Structure 1
Amino acid sequence: MSALEIRQVRKDFGSTRVLKDVSLSIDSGEFLILVGPSGCGKSTLMNAIAGLEPVTDGQILIAEEDVTWRTPAERDIAMVFQSYALYPSMTVRQNIAFGLEMRKVPKAEREEAVERVADLLQISQLLDRKPSQLSGGQRQRVAMGRALAREPKIYLFDEPLSNLDAKLRVEMRTEIKKLHQRLGTTIVYVTHDQIEAMTLADRIAVMRDGNILQLGTPEEVYNDPVDMFVAGFMGSPSMNFIQATLEGEPGDYRLVVETPASARLVLPWPAERETPGMTNVVGRRVVLGLRPEHFSAEDARLGDRAEGTLLTAQVSVAEPTGADILLRLPLGDGEITARVGPKMRIAAGDCIELRVDMSRAVLFDADSERRLA
């Protein structure tokens, strides 16, 4: 059964359309993440689900009941905000219990719920403190505890980790993941951080300009992006886009890239990855998409996936990250980023030879930016 269904939802602010016929269905117990750049409409969609913003058109169903025009209190949802929204004059215990008290839940049940979520979130020792006495991570746990105490049909998280420092973000991300695995709750989560999306979600909805461009598992969105925007938005560092010309015929397609030295770099396209649409762009400019990890300077097994070495180039920048090294190299009319192993001894100005795993490359139409293969 669908826990949440959104049907052709539109939202206008004056003459500006912020949501454009958005439709999606979320299963019970699913963790869905809405991701996209600032201004794409993800928070507006979240507010529409919560009932904080009335929709211009369309329907919103929770547990198969039409709640489009119901108030937030009538929707049986709980929301965790970016700003925590804790009452400063109340203790942690009172903050967690406040929503239950407003719903006239008996005192014994309130106390039991507070103890349950405090134990779940490991904040039992903080129950008698006030928000001003807590760290950012502790405040976020309290905000989550207030939502969890209610046991609603759906939890909504609106960029809950954006105010935390990098270390706390990682820790809280893990806590939220564990929480979902333990409770099996239905969660809709908004973020602009694609790493949060990749690590937390069962499915990701990538939004842009009020539309959902792609809805799929993290693996689908990362490995099989529908267009250049999704491909470039998901992944850190982002996908390399290389201008090329498609030559050849079915069974023998080749991508030709003009290098800075005016030489032609020829990359064979795997026959098993061909699509019918490729015949329409032979002789035309296309965009080859390669992620940094598709390059290799160490694994000779990749040699049969490319025609000789991919590139001999002078490294512009070498960035050791601990787990690996990111290299910036000239290719085509710009630069690419390659990810290599941490044992390599390389610095800016060194020359390096790389191979490419073309079996994982993607191809885009240069004009429409839609995926071809």
Structure 2
Amino acid sequence: MSALEIHQLHKSFGSTHVLKDVNISIASGEFLILVGPSGCGKSTLMNAIAGLEPITSGEIRIGGEDVTWRTPAERDIAMVFQSYALYPSMTVRGNIAFGLEMRKMPKAEREAAVQRVADLLQISHLLDRKPSQLSGGQRQRVAMGRALAREPQIYLFDEPLSNLDAKLRVEMRTEIKKLHQRLGTTIVYVTHDQIEAMTLADRIAVMRDGQVQQLGTPDEIYNDPINMFVAGFMGSPAMNFVEAVLEGGRGNYALRISTPEQQDLVLPWPAERDTDVLASRVGQKMMLGLRPEHLSEAGGHSGAGTGMAAVIGVVEPTGADVLINLPLGEGEVTARVGPDCRARPGERLELQVDMRRAVLFDPQSEVRLA
């Protein structure tokens, strides 16, 4: 397996600047996921890595070698597409072996490679079937097997699970995770599904409007987002954003949230998380970010946090927990509480706010402040 380096990459289609100064470096054997909303440039970046789309400027290196202007065949990569792209007239065996045959691999070696990946993906019993005789999950395994048989330097996955139903997506996600752990392959994987990104990746590149907003581990992206876009995009349900005014001074800061129908809510900021930037922001509006799990039912197992109460708007049981929608400040927030919560819409609920894990953003620039 090989490392991948992308340096100052730009891509334009006419006057439209699609990729803007992209810089990414991943180690050999690392699993990188490119994630972002539709139209953010992640598939264009994937095609640029593969050599399917020529770049405007910049550099791409695979295994230390400059491949920026090499053809896809010269880059030693393998791609797994959303659409499977299997040959309908060939059997599973023929589909997996086709690329090896084109590379003039001897027949005995081809057959051994096909059997190896078939055993690995548990599709040995399907080798003599045609794609039309397979389920969606089986076809995706065949597409993965065709890529794995080649043993290239880097594997590229372009939304490979988006055509599968929800249950099958979860199963295939687990299989891909196991596969990476077993083989230690270098993988770049495109998805718009942030749950997929969080569960599969060693590191995640969150993209927006052709730029990488943040590159980090799933924990860094989730718990230490660099701006409001990353904070709001990663997480399900999304992070709550509440407008508040910063008060007090060092060691004694607090966030005052105006509530139209009751007394203002004042949430103390943890003294251990004071930063110099807060001193110049006293009296100014801030955007307070709280994950749904930072709002828990009072008297719950955590027992930590500042108390607040609000009238419940909507209750959404999910099985493992309950999502509660309730007013806070000028808007609404979502709280994630335990499955035993019996609160109903219209009732008043006492909550604990865990400010130790809260984050603050500048409301204009949307940049993280603390």
TM-score for both structures, normalised by structure 2:
0.98
SS at structure 1 position matched to 2:162? coil
Q: Distance in 2 between matches of 1:343 and 1:300?
A: 10
Look up the match of 1:335.
332
8 A contact 1:31–1:200 mirrored in 2 = yes
8 A contact 1:4–1:27 mirrored in 2 = yes
Tell me the alpha carbon deviations over residues 339-370 of structure 1, each in whole angstroms, 9 at most, x when there is no partner: 00001112211210001110000000111100
Tell me the alpha carbon deviations over residues 233-286 of structure 1, each in whole angstroms, 9 at most, x when there is no partner: 000000000010001111110100011314210000001111111122211110
- Give the percent of matched residue pairs that are identical in Structure 1 and Structure 2: 76
Letter in 1 for 2:215: L
SS at structure 2 position matched to 1:69? coil
CA gap of 1:2–1:362, structure 2 versus 1, over 3 A, is farther
- 1:344 and 2:344 equivalent? no
SS at structure 1 position matched to 2:238? coil
Letter in 2 for 1:94: G
Tell me the alpha carbon deviations over residues 313-354 of structure 1, each in whole angstroms, 9 at most, x when there is no partner: 111110110000000001111110000000111221121000
- 1:224 and 2:224 equivalent? yes
Q: Distance in 1 between matches of 2:286 and 2:207?
A: 24
Letter in 2 for 1:101: E
- 1:258 and 2:258 equivalent? yes
Letter in 2 for 1:355: Q
What displacement does 1:131 show? 0.7
Q: Distance in 2 between matches of 1:199 and 1:205?
A: 14
Q: Is the deviation greater in 167-176 or in 1-10?
A: 1-10
Q: 1:292-311 maps to which residues of 2 (within 5 A)?
A: 292-299=292-299, 305-306=305-306, 309-310=307-308
Out of 330, 350, 359, the position equivalent to 1:362 is: 359
CA gap of 1:304–1:340, structure 2 versus 1, over 3 A, is closer
Q: 1:252-331 maps to which residues of 2 (within 5 A)?
A: 252-299=252-299, 305-306=305-306, 309-310=307-308, 312-331=309-328
Q: Distance in 2 between matches of 1:225 and 1:14?
A: 33
SS at structure 1 position matched to 2:173? helix
SS at structure 2 position matched to 1:252? coil
Structure 1 gap ranges (5+) = none
- 1:76 and 2:76 equivalent? yes
8 A contact 2:3–2:186 mirrored in 1 = yes
Q: Distance in 1 between matches of 2:117 and 2:271?
A: 55
TM-score for both structures, normalised by structure 1:
0.97
Look up the match of 2:137.
137
8 A contact 1:302–1:357 mirrored in 2 = no
8 A contact 1:203–1:218 mirrored in 2 = yes
8 A contact 2:32–2:204 mirrored in 1 = yes
SS at structure 2 position matched to 1:277? helix
8 A contact 1:325–1:341 mirrored in 2 = yes
Look up the match of 1:16.
16
Q: Distance in 2 between matches of 1:184 and 1:303?
A: 42
**For this pair of structures, how many residues does the alignment match?**
370
- 1:164 and 2:164 equivalent? yes
Letter in 1 for 2:327: P
Look up the match of 1:242.
242
SS at structure 1 position matched to 2:366? coil
8 A contact 2:2–2:153 mirrored in 1 = no
SS at structure 2 position matched to 1:55? coil
What displacement does 1:305 show? 3.3
Q: Distance in 1 between matches of 2:241 and 2:263?
A: 19
Q: Distance in 1 between matches of 2:100 and 2:128?
A: 18
8 A contact 1:2–1:25 mirrored in 2 = no
Letter in 2 for 1:326: L
8 A contact 2:10–2:56 mirrored in 1 = yes
CA gap of 1:64–1:299, structure 2 versus 1, over 3 A, is farther
Q: Distance in 2 between matches of 1:116 and 1:164?
A: 25
SS at structure 1 position matched to 2:339? coil
CA gap of 1:87–1:286, structure 2 versus 1, over 3 A, is same
8 A contact 2:82–2:161 mirrored in 1 = yes
Letter in 2 for 1:351: R
Structure 2 gap ranges (5+) = none
Tell me the alpha carbon deviations over residues 199-230 of structure 1, each in whole angstroms, 9 at most, x when there is no partner: 00000000001110100000000000000000
SS at structure 1 position matched to 2:150? coil
